[in-house]
Amino acid sequence: MRAKTVVLLLTLTLGGALLVAQARKTLDIYIVDVEGGNATLFVTPAGQSVLIDTGNGGANAARDAGRILEATRDAGLTQIDHLITTHWHGDHFGAMADVAKQIPVRAYYDHGPTVQPQPASEEFLKNVYAGLIAQAKHTVVKPGDRITVAGLDWRIVSSGGQVLQTNLPGAGRPNPYCASFKPQDVDKTENAQSVGSYITFGKFRVVHMGDLTWNKEAELMCPNNRLGTTDLLVVGHHGQPVSNSDVIVHALRPRVSIINNGTRKGGQPDAMKVILNSPGLEDVYQIHFSLLGGQEYTVPGMFIANTFDDQPEAMPIGAWTPPPQGTQAPPAPVHNGKAYWFKVSAQQDGTFTVTNTRNNFSKTYRAGQITSSN
Ligand SMILES: [Zn+2]
């Protein structure tokens, strides 16, 4: 009796975090809505956490940090153990200072200095990031590196313009999609530097490639598929067609893809055709309806997490055509109000559930029901 009372008091004293950590048996992944940026939070059953990217900066930093913090609270976190910044674009590092002010970050990972110096990223790296990493662990990662997270096998597969040169366990078969691959123009931006990760929890697999672009996808996946397949693909580059070639999307054979697009960023027809045509695919989820795709290239509303502040009565059927170059486009629909995340809860056996927190639509993908690969 007495020991029980002590344990109970201790638990109450330490607050909800411990209760959550003790109760959790799943790997939980929060795909946070940062309006066409990226912020993806992983929380292990033991309460270890990895955040990939911190959303937008400037006038949107407080909003996006707030949304990320809400996810950390939902998960019962008191710190972020690992923060990976995929690359030095403002929709990926923007709210970092605001996040770090509100929750301690223990270790930082990135691909190294920027290859595309811009006033905002240079200022950030010099005056903000340098200070943050001075007080924590900091690692520049390269392909083949692992991030030590108990319960997960976290492999870096791209970073700093380099890609993995060896096969992940069980992978390495010839990739049939390479034969018809057509390169795009060389991408000299930060996107091609993105830190990409292949994460395994028991039999459950997730791929997150940041904004890695088209030609780098082929460097990684051709002629042999060095990654193998995945259960969940966090779609690259917000679902834009300068990424998402079939050499990666189709070869990975995701059961489920989740797109972190914005109201008018990503989710374009050419990328949606590849994503929705992926072999073995069961469902696609979008963090937003994208005007660039219209109803023609989107998923049913049940699979969309967020609306606009000023929601129109009906959504356009066709894809929105941007005005000709040099003309001012009308402002994109705003969404600063209540935001909803997708929560993925994965079990060791490979079963996972995706929940749309806007409408509580939830679907479970059972292990062992994977379409056989050929
Ligand atoms: Zn981006």
Least confident of 1-10, 107-116, 188-197, 215-224: 1-10
Ligand 1 centroid to Cα of residue 366, in Å, is 31
Ligand 1 centroid to Cα of residue 53, in Å, is 10
Strands 304-306, 283-288: parallel, antiparallel or unpaired by DSSP? parallel
Ligand 1 centroid to Cα of residue 114, in Å, is 15
Greater pLDDT, 314 or 92: 92
Cα separation values, 175 from 180, 222, 243, 254, Å: 11, 6, 17, 15
Q: What is the pLDDT of residue 372?
A: 45
- Provide the b/e sequence for 288-324 (b: ≥16 CB within 10 Å): bbbbbbbeebbbeeebbbbbbeeeeeebeeebbeeee
Ligand 1 centroid to Cα of residue 86, in Å, is 9
R_g of the chain computed on alpha carbons:
20
Ligand 1 centroid to Cα of residue 210, in Å, is 7
Ligand 1 centroid to Cα of residue 178, in Å, is 25
Greater pLDDT, 53 or 371: 53
Q: What's the CA gap between 260 and 237, in Å, rounded?
A: 8
Ligand 1 centroid to Cα of residue 89, in Å, is 7
Ligand 1 centroid to Cα of residue 10, in Å, is 43
Ligand 1 centroid to Cα of residue 341, in Å, is 17
Ligand 1 centroid to Cα of residue 323, in Å, is 22
Ligand 1 centroid to Cα of residue 8, in Å, is 45
Q: What is the pLDDT of residue 22?
A: 59
Q: What's the CA gap between 212 and 281, in Å, rounded?
A: 21
Ligand 1 centroid to Cα of residue 188, in Å, is 15
- Helix-strand-coil percent breakdown of the chain, rounded to 5? 30, 25, 50
Ligand 1 centroid to Cα of residue 244, in Å, is 13
Q: What is the pLDDT of residue 330?
A: 87
Whether the predicted model's global pTM rises above the 0.95 cut: no
Ligand 1 centroid to Cα of residue 11, in Å, is 40
pLDDT digits (tens, 9 = 90+) for 25-60: 999 999 999 999 999 999 999 999 999 999 999 999
Ligand 1 centroid to Cα of residue 258, in Å, is 15
Query: Does residue 100 register a pLDDT over 90?
Result: yes
Q: What is the pLDDT of residue 19?
A: 55
Ligand 1 centroid to Cα of residue 36, in Å, is 7
Ligand 1 centroid to Cα of residue 133, in Å, is 22
Q: What is the pLDDT of residue 1?
A: 40
Ligand 1 centroid to Cα of residue 120, in Å, is 15
Least confident of 205-209, 231-235, 254-258, 365-369: 365-369
Greater pLDDT, 201 or 17: 201
Ramachandran angles phi, psi of 9, nearest 5°: -65, -45
Q: What's the CA gap between 16 and 66, in Å, rounded?
A: 19
Q: What is the pLDDT averaged over residues 331-345?
A: 95
Within 8 A by CB and 6+ apart from 96, the residues are 54, 57, 83, 85, 124, 128, 129, 132
DSSP label at residue 257: E
Ligand 1 centroid to Cα of residue 372, in Å, is 33
Q: What is the pLDDT of residue 369?
A: 64
Q: What's the CA gap between 291 and 311, in Å, rounded?
A: 12
Is the CB of residue 221 less than 8 Å from the CB of residue 117?
Answer: no
In this prediction, residue 321 has a pLDDT band, given cuts at 50, 70 and 90, of confident
Q: What is the pLDDT averaged over residues 181-207?
A: 98
Ligand 1 centroid to Cα of residue 92, in Å, is 6
Ligand 1 centroid to Cα of residue 356, in Å, is 22
Ligand 1 centroid to Cα of residue 160, in Å, is 16
Token readout for 227 is 């990654």
DSSP secondary structure string for all residues of 201-232: ETTEEEEE-TT--HHHHHHHHSSEESS---SE
Ligand 1 centroid to Cα of residue 288, in Å, is 15
